Structure 1
Amino acid sequence: MLDNMPRGTICIEDIEIGMKRSLTKVVTDLDIELFAQVSTDHNPVHLDDDYARDTIFEGRIAHGMLTAGLISAVIGEQLPGHGTVYLGQNLRFMAPVRPGDMVEAVVEVQSIDPAKRRVTMATHCSVDGKVVLKGEATVLAPSRKFD
Structure 2
Amino acid sequence: MLDNLPRGTICIEDLEIGMSRYVQKQITDRDIELFAEVSTDRNPVHLDDAYAMDTRFEGRIAHGMLTASLISAVIGEQLPGHGSVYMRQDLTFLAPVRPGDTVRAEVTVADIDHARRRVTLDCRCSVGDTVVLKGEALVLAPSRKFD
User: Normalising to structure 2: TM-score of the pair?
Assistant: 1.00
Which residue number corresponds to residue 36 of structure 1? 36
SS class of match (2:105)? strand
Equivalent-residue separation in structure 2 for 1:129 and 1:84 (angstroms)? 29
Deviation at 1:4, TM superposition (A): 1.1
Deviation at 1:129, TM superposition (A): 1.4
One-letter code of the match for 1:73?
Answer: A
1:75 maps to 2:75: yes
Which residue number corresponds to residue 2 of structure 2? 2
Which residue number corresponds to residue 129 of structure 2? 129
Which residue number corresponds to residue 115 of structure 2? 115
Equivalent-residue separation in structure 1 for 2:92 and 2:79 (angstroms)? 21
Equivalent-residue separation in structure 1 for 2:52 and 2:125 (angstroms)? 23
Equivalent-residue separation in structure 1 for 2:128 and 2:13 (angstroms)? 35
Which residue number corresponds to residue 90 of structure 2? 90
* Structure 1 runs, 4 residues or longer, greater than 6 Å off: none
| Equivalent residues, number | 147
Deviations 1:23-80 (A, max 9, x none): 1000000000000000000000000000000000000000000000000000000000
User: Normalising to structure 1: TM-score of the pair?
Assistant: 1.00
1:99 maps to 2:109: no
Deviation at 1:108, TM superposition (A): 0.2
One-letter code of the match for 1:126?
Answer: S
SS class of match (1:33)? helix
One-letter code of the match for 2:23?
Answer: L
Structure 1: tracts of 5 or more residues without a match: none
Deviation at 1:94, TM superposition (A): 0.1
Which residue number corresponds to residue 48 of structure 1? 48
Which residue number corresponds to residue 62 of structure 2? 62
Question: CA RMSD for the aligned pairs?
Answer: 0.3
SS class of match (1:76)? helix
SS class of match (1:108)? strand
Which residue number corresponds to residue 142 of structure 2? 142
SS class of match (1:145)? helix
